[in-house]
Amino acid sequence: MRECIDSMDDETFEMWMKYHFTICERTDLIGATHHSLDILKKIQ
């Protein structure tokens, strides 16, 4: 995961951080990452 995040440009990283913090702040999603799969598409 580190390599993927390190290779993101600034705009993509900001979008990923918004997503990450949104998920972290929702108590109904605590533990959801243990049972999910993120499928991402790189947009140029």
> Using alpha carbons only, how large is the chain's radius of gyration in Å?
12
Where exactly are the structural domains of the chain?
A: 1-25
Grouping H, G, I as helix, E, B as strand and the rest as coil, residue 1 is coil
pTM over cut 0.85: no
Per-residue pLDDT tens digits for 15-43:
989 988 887 777 776 665 566 677 788 88
CA angle 34, 36, 8 (to 5 degrees): 100
Query: What token pair was written down for 6?
Result: 């390190």
